[in-house]
Structure 1
């Protein structure tokens, strides 16, 4: 049947809104549960990947409501930074890609011209996120509490937060080398990519700039190195002949570097000025004096030099650098040096590697050793060659650093371990002014405005001092008592907190955000204003409803309602807030807080979560510390890369919901994989979940509308027992926030059980309705619209979203019934499997149940296990005291070993149910059903029957729970 899912979703969402199920009010005495998902950066449309984590949060919140909690699930957006500025700017200049992006994601064409100002962009996307995404997915979020980091009231909260950090001595000011955009100023470079559109994994790398004096031209050729200790092995210098270099003046010296490097240097050093240019080909053949060793070395041509890396000039230490070793061999075999550049063969031949570092397991020239060991010269494929050379470089550098010792040629540094000599050699060259420090990013970084990001020196940068030892240790200690998933992050967060250092917390330039309260020229940056924000949701309701104004939200106000400092009458007087309202806000804050769960994507593990934890620890008392963190992994594109909203993303969310239905997507997110692994967005797979839901709905509707009603029997006891077992399984799964396991039970195990019940002839109306009440109720957290529809069709009272999740009814738990029906299923499966493997035509199945002596041994073993004294020798001794068992000799001893080992590894409860089961009676009662399911004539015999048909003596191998089968 064709269903209008959009209409169904709209209907039930309206019902929830009418009943105000999403609105959360303090209920003193009732247990509360507060959870959030990390609010998204407002830099454009969200995509189907974002909804994975958001859906988890809503499902967890719904489940907690069903189990007796008063749940607060607030949402907001993070608009701090340059995202909205960049987008508005592109719209204003009618950037074709941006306009296409907006149209493709459903923005009405007439709206685009209204988005030329940053706050218009912010307001537009705030509306999109709430109405087109979160409400469309049926989230029961308290929309009254919605906040955005650019709202005035939020700004007051951030100002208060920073006053507290300053009071704690955690704000410091010092020079800083920051990633810097020429339009927006300093930007954050981290995996969250809040400020940038490319390069989130880039790191700031410290180079040593080596100055090689060229007497002939009266300038320095400047090379950047990460390994200053290799200066003793310099034998030549590389320049790129097909490019033009800049000549810059710095501190009265003339330096030759690439134009790209000159631009970067101007951001890091004072007084750098370009005074000329020189062709790269004019550098070839010059000689220069290497620093420290003061040795003359020639300049050779090389096309591998990258003008954007370092200085665009490279000094060569072939003994320890695989690329240099290989390049020198190529040069020596190339007559072009003499023919084209006039460099004599004698000069080329005189360039030979110098052995400077001894590494265990390597020869005199480690670069040569590893190249030969990896057989790299024989590799013809360029890509593979490059991959192997990079691998060789990493390995030899790593071994050299950790195991290398400087040789005698290294003068005063000889005999030193490389890890010690590296810093000492660098410091010596810095002291002699033969070197300087230069910083660069490890990969290209692009701001959201499209400008390239470089490193710039900021002289008076403000930081939050996350390196404070007391704060770090206190936070680590608190984390040990938190609920943190996955388990690996529970362990790893300790190291992340140790690694965290000062973080630049303010920016200069064109940014949206809160002004730094201690120096108005600065804007508080995007990570630093998103640490305590869950707390603000407990207050935002009152400013959103105009009960208080931003101007009234003074430091004294927050001190009182959050930290309970100050006299209520004095605070009421200074703020103009009615004292009764002030008390209500304070009680709300302390009812809802601490936050129970903060759920966010894995990019937050090293960015948001650490500062979230440390700011809470620094500012709030012990009883307001967060209780839990859940990390979810990504939904990726076809190439396994994270889907990027700034680059268009996958199918727009409204289109996907229209195509598949909200609940199909919710089920896909919940069940497709553990939340701790990446999932590739696969529309075909999403469609299978849609089909799954349609099949379940049809099955439930058939059960609801069935007219037949037969008396209750064993199969009814089995179904009710199974469903009450599933209730326990669901509760256990959700206690550990395992939404996938819950989904498996609800949409697969329970569905299979209902189908099996029908196949076994179950048609008792009361049993069916009891089971459906449990089943539909269990669907609600993940697929709430489908659950409401089925709940209504079944005639159950009220809304399922208001219903409580049932407790398992132990009076209806029947382990023997569950085990017995499972045995019937296994026997049918085994018969069908043997039938497939049979080499001759078979038409009859003969099934033999276990002999009673084996049941007796099992019961003895269970009794011993319950008493805690089950061992193979003791069970053997007990059995051999029975003459009938003793007569069986080896058969008894073999079975004793088998059953003892099995019990030691198994669930004792299941084994007791098996021992109490009358297999013969059960299977004989199911004989006709087994015959119909297998398509074979079926006979059932107890192994102890005297006149049974058993031509192959199969009955002897039957054991409890494993009947023997003979096909003929």
Structure 2
């Protein structure tokens, strides 16, 4: 049978038998999910990595006798499907970049059509790669039953005081007329670029009857301003901003309207016209000049920048060029620095020109250093105050006295909405938020994190800090699919806010899909009872709650590293807000991204490898193995077609070895080599089990697919392989390449599915260190002989003598290992003091030493393998104790490393 036929055969059998459909039982449960896929196009190999690794974990847990619940949902909230619909409506050829056939796209009439088509295709894809999912509870975030659940969640959050409303600046899509989320998950945006909103303080410098508003991120340095920069090559305007006259860049005037300002442009001004004028610093009423700064970005904030050369390296260099007579003014005192720290750092890093790329790094370094400093004692009102405090206090003072305002920018731009429009910053009146800044909520959430199993462990250390960093987050938008906001018409709950506790809904979803409950049953009272035990149950509510309590809390939430800063902390915090502590989540697994040939997978770059195409070329099991072993799960995976081909050939090699073993007859008695492999396989089972328990998938795969195969090649070289090892190996392979293992398991005469077999357990008594050491010595001899042949140029030796280390060397070796002092050792060896002393010192330099196990058995073992060595090396072999020869090669013999003489 073809690989494809074998895979489909077993996928159908699994589905027919309901092998992955889980019900409560007396077994220990394991409830896990992966972050449900966003409906944004056909799945590609990047998704395959995100879903295959959790599936390997799920299959392993089943074999460890856990009752595994591994359900599926879809994330359709937002504008993804609308964007696809818009693009294919313009040109059906656009469908191909989303992995959609143009013929199918021609039938799309609404975003819902796109959604349901892609959901259906994803389910087929999940089955085709062999994911062991329970499809019965499948649900989408735009389904009406899910919408009722999310509305209940939001009512709980509001009752707890976590839903707030206020005027606030947000990232905004003008076309969607809606706020968007800026985070690495890229739910609302096409490419994040690390963008956040920067809050500029705008300080009002007086210029006659107008204001020249200079923007800054460091308002506390206002007392050190020596001049103001404008770009002489840009267009500026005189505009009435609310009740004031501002002179700002033409580009800035357009932005101010987004911040709720009334802006009326009165006249245009060339930047050159502003030069050589003087403005008044509102903090100290001193006049400072307006100077030319071609570096000023007219599209950033107001297009006007204040200059503080003592504390800004760029200002210092540029001012020396255009107005060297102006002296810097110190504002901040920092330990280890003089009055002009910017100058000191520039000299330290040998930076002389403003074009030097190191200047940005120096500036950031100085800002961090000075944040821990204090204001100069001579500064009125704020002298001696810590900079960290003064930053806020100076801003507050300037604003209260009418001398400052705020403008906002994205830290990286341009950023585009999923709909294609450029994102701006906008102040929204009455914007709704989830208040993640609540300190008590944060503390409870960090308490939850303390008790969780988080992979990799480093993320467990990072997560509390991320929770501390969270602030109010906009939770609604105006456009797209999703759940209607229950507290004000016209708003839809945004994509991250509706996907934090969805795991709890899967139990309810199963009953809904089986038509045991209807939409009318999904009331707030229903959810209160099922999830919180509040109120009196009706009809099947009690049974649903019992099942929910069997599965909850969630044992593992798996998702990509893009979720580290958003989904995972919100997942924890929302569980803490809604559920009692005994139902808080227990685990998080973060997997890293997949790129292709060193570049991010992108429809725009055209380097996307679609899931279905990869399976057709390489097969599902090859893809699964490549995803599991191609890179550490906590490193980015660089997809290469040629590497996937190598994994395909490796599976073919395994199949060839397996079929050879199947032809062998079982052995009636075990020889040394059988005991050696028995020891090796038990050791590998022990190590692979430990790796799987820590979710170290690559390490486990390496042991199971590569270490065992290497050992089998050696086994085969020594003797016929005992076929009794085959069932054990197949079980170890099964979580990774289940289709192949099912097929061979069946051919061995088994009637059960290998998927539900028990994971092999290791027997520590069968791990025989002496057997392993003996075989490793033989392997080492063969390698060493090949090296000596090359060096001696005796490529076809007639005889090889192996000098076995004398007993005294074994004894000295063990003495060093046990820490016995030289003077005690020498007492036993009168007449050999010099030899013993030299060997002892040599071993001391080689520490740490590994224990040697053969001792007196070394000679016997080599005699037993003499025939094998003669066959492999095609010459006469003599085994001799080093004590019986004076040849120089006999003197170098050491425990488990004979001296080798080639003749």
Q: Specify the SS of the correspondent of 1:173.
A: strand
**How far is 1:458 from its partner?**
2.8
**How far is 1:412 from its partner?**
4.9
Q: Specify the SS of the correspondent of 1:45.
A: coil
**How far is 1:386 from its partner?**
4.2
Selected match of 1:173 from 143, 165, 172: 165
Q: Which residue of structure 2 aligns with residue 567 of structure 1?
A: 536
Residue 254 of structure 2 is aligned to residue 263 of structure 1 = yes
CA contact (8 A) 1:733 1:739 kept: yes
**How far is 1:67 from its partner?**
1.7
Distance 2:387 2:405 in 1: 20
Q: Specify the SS of the correspondent of 2:441.
A: helix
Residue 445 of structure 2 is aligned to residue 475 of structure 1 = yes
Selected match of 2:527 from 552, 555, 558: 558
Q: Specify the SS of the correspondent of 1:311.
A: coil
Q: Which residue of structure 2 aligns with residue 688 of structure 1?
A: 646
CA contact (8 A) 2:224 2:331 kept: yes
**How far is 1:566 from its partner?**
2.4
Q: Which residue of structure 2 aligns with residue 230 of structure 1?
A: 221
Selected match of 2:879 from 940, 949, 954: 940
**How far is 1:82 from its partner?**
2.4
Selected match of 2:761 from 800, 804, 807: 807
**How far is 1:214 from its partner?**
2.3
Distance 2:440 2:750 in 1: 56
Residue 895 of structure 2 is aligned to residue 960 of structure 1 = yes
Q: Deviations 1:97-123 (Å, cap 9, x if unpaired)? A: xx5452145422122233342212221
Q: Deviations 1:881-901 (Å, cap 9, x if unpaired)? A: 7x5x45644555676788899
Q: Deviations 1:625-682 (Å, cap 9, x if unpaired)? A: 2221111111124345x43468755212212222222222211121122211112222
Q: Matches of residues 457-536 of structure 1 in structure 2 within 5 Å?
A: 457-507=427-477, 509-536=478-505
CA contact (8 A) 2:87 2:94 kept: no
**How far is 1:138 from its partner?**
0.8
Q: Which residue of structure 2 aligns with residue 39 of structure 1?
A: 36
CA contact (8 A) 1:325 1:367 kept: yes
Distance 1:901 1:76, change over 3 A: farther
Distance 1:592 1:735 in 2: 20
Selected match of 2:85 from 85, 88, 93: 88
Which stretch of structure 1 is more off in the superposition, 102-111 or 590-599? 102-111
Distance 1:24 1:372 in 2: 68
**How far is 1:16 from its partner?**
1.5
Which stretch of structure 1 is more off in the superposition, 807-816 or 729-738? 807-816
Distance 1:646 1:41 in 2: 18
Q: Deviations 1:657-711 (Å, cap 9, x if unpaired)? A: 2222222221112112221111222222222111111111122223324689897
Q: Which residue of structure 2 aligns with residue 272 of structure 1?
A: 263
Q: Specify the SS of the correspondent of 2:13.
A: helix
Distance 1:350 1:759, change over 3 A: closer
Which stretch of structure 1 is more off in the superposition, 700-709 or 42-51? 700-709
Residue 202 of structure 2 is aligned to residue 214 of structure 1 = no
Q: Specify the SS of the correspondent of 1:300.
A: strand
Selected match of 1:368 from 343, 346, 364: 343
Distance 1:261 1:932, change over 3 A: farther
List gaps (5 residues or longer) in structure 2: none
Q: Matches of residues 708-857 of structure 1 in structure 2 within 5 Å?
A: 712-763=670-721, 767-768=722-723, 770-809=724-763, 812-838=766-792, 843=797, 844-855=799-810
Q: Specify the SS of the correspondent of 1:190.
A: coil
Distance 1:825 1:797, change over 3 A: farther
**How far is 1:306 from its partner?**
1.2
Q: Which residue of structure 1 aligns with residue 862 of structure 2?
A: 923
Q: Specify the SS of the correspondent of 2:190.
A: strand
Selected match of 2:550 from 587, 591, 607: 591
Q: Which residue of structure 1 aligns with residue 358 of structure 2?
A: 388
- After superposition, the CA RMSD in angstroms is 3.0
CA contact (8 A) 2:311 2:342 kept: yes
**How far is 1:751 from its partner?**
0.7
Distance 1:417 1:855, change over 3 A: closer
Q: Specify the SS of the correspondent of 1:159.
A: helix
TM-score (structure 2 length as normaliser): 0.92
Aligned residues: 900
Distance 1:354 1:122, change over 3 A: same
CA contact (8 A) 1:39 1:77 kept: yes
Distance 1:753 1:233, change over 3 A: same
Q: Specify the SS of the correspondent of 2:170.
A: strand
Q: Specify the SS of the correspondent of 1:278.
A: strand
Q: Which residue of structure 2 aligns with residue 614 of structure 1?
A: 573
**How far is 1:256 from its partner?**
2.1
Distance 1:232 1:858 in 2: 74
Residue 854 of structure 2 is aligned to residue 914 of structure 1 = yes
Distance 1:725 1:373 in 2: 56
Which stretch of structure 1 is more off in the superposition, 774-783 or 411-420? 411-420
CA contact (8 A) 1:193 1:200 kept: no
Q: Specify the SS of the correspondent of 1:75.
A: strand
Q: Matches of residues 198-209 of structure 1 in structure 2 within 5 Å?
A: 198-199=191-192, 201-209=194-202
Distance 1:532 1:105, change over 3 A: closer
Distance 1:751 1:801 in 2: 22
**How far is 1:195 from its partner?**
0.9
List gaps (5 residues or longer) in structure 1: 333-348, 573-578, 863-869
Which stretch of structure 1 is more off in the superposition, 483-492 or 645-654? 645-654
Q: Matches of residues 75-474 of structure 1 in structure 2 within 5 Å?
A: 75-92=72-89, 94=90, 99-132=92-125, 134-184=126-176, 185-199=178-192, 201-215=194-208, 218-331=209-322, 351-359=326-334, 362=337, 364-377=339-352, 385-403=355-373, 405-406=375-376, 408=378, 410-414=379-383, 416-444=385-413, 445-474=415-444
Q: Specify the SS of the correspondent of 2:512.
A: helix
Q: Specify the SS of the correspondent of 2:760.
A: coil
TM-score (structure 1 length as normaliser): 0.87
**How far is 1:84 from its partner?**
2.2
**How far is 1:194 from its partner?**
0.9
Which stretch of structure 1 is more off in the superposition, 518-527 or 146-155? 518-527
Q: Which residue of structure 1 aligns with residue 632 of structure 2?
A: 674
Q: Deviations 1:715-768 (Å, cap 9, x if unpaired)? A: 2222233223322222222111111111111111111111111111325xxx22
Q: Matches of residues 698-713 of structure 1 in structure 2 within 5 Å?
A: 698-705=656-663, 712-713=670-671
CA contact (8 A) 2:804 2:858 kept: yes
Distance 1:598 1:832, change over 3 A: same
Distance 1:80 1:646, change over 3 A: farther
CA contact (8 A) 1:872 1:896 kept: no
**How far is 1:206 from its partner?**
1.6
Q: Specify the SS of the correspondent of 1:256.
A: strand
Distance 2:492 2:893 in 1: 78
Distance 2:361 2:859 in 1: 66
Distance 1:480 1:300, change over 3 A: closer
Distance 1:275 1:119, change over 3 A: farther
Q: Specify the SS of the correspondent of 1:817.
A: helix
Q: Deviations 1:515-571 (Å, cap 9, x if unpaired)? A: 222333432222221111111112211111222112211122122222223223xxx
Distance 1:550 1:659 in 2: 44
**How far is 1:60 from its partner?**
0.7
Distance 1:413 1:479 in 2: 40
Distance 1:926 1:860 in 2: 29
Q: Specify the SS of the correspondent of 2:357.
A: helix
- The 4+ residue runs of structure 1 with deviation greater than 6 A are 707-711, 839-842, 857-862, 893-905
Distance 1:784 1:560 in 2: 40
Distance 2:156 2:406 in 1: 36
Q: Which residue of structure 2 aligns with residue 872 of structure 1?
A: 820
Distance 1:22 1:710 in 2: 39
Distance 1:958 1:546 in 2: 78
Distance 1:933 1:106 in 2: 55
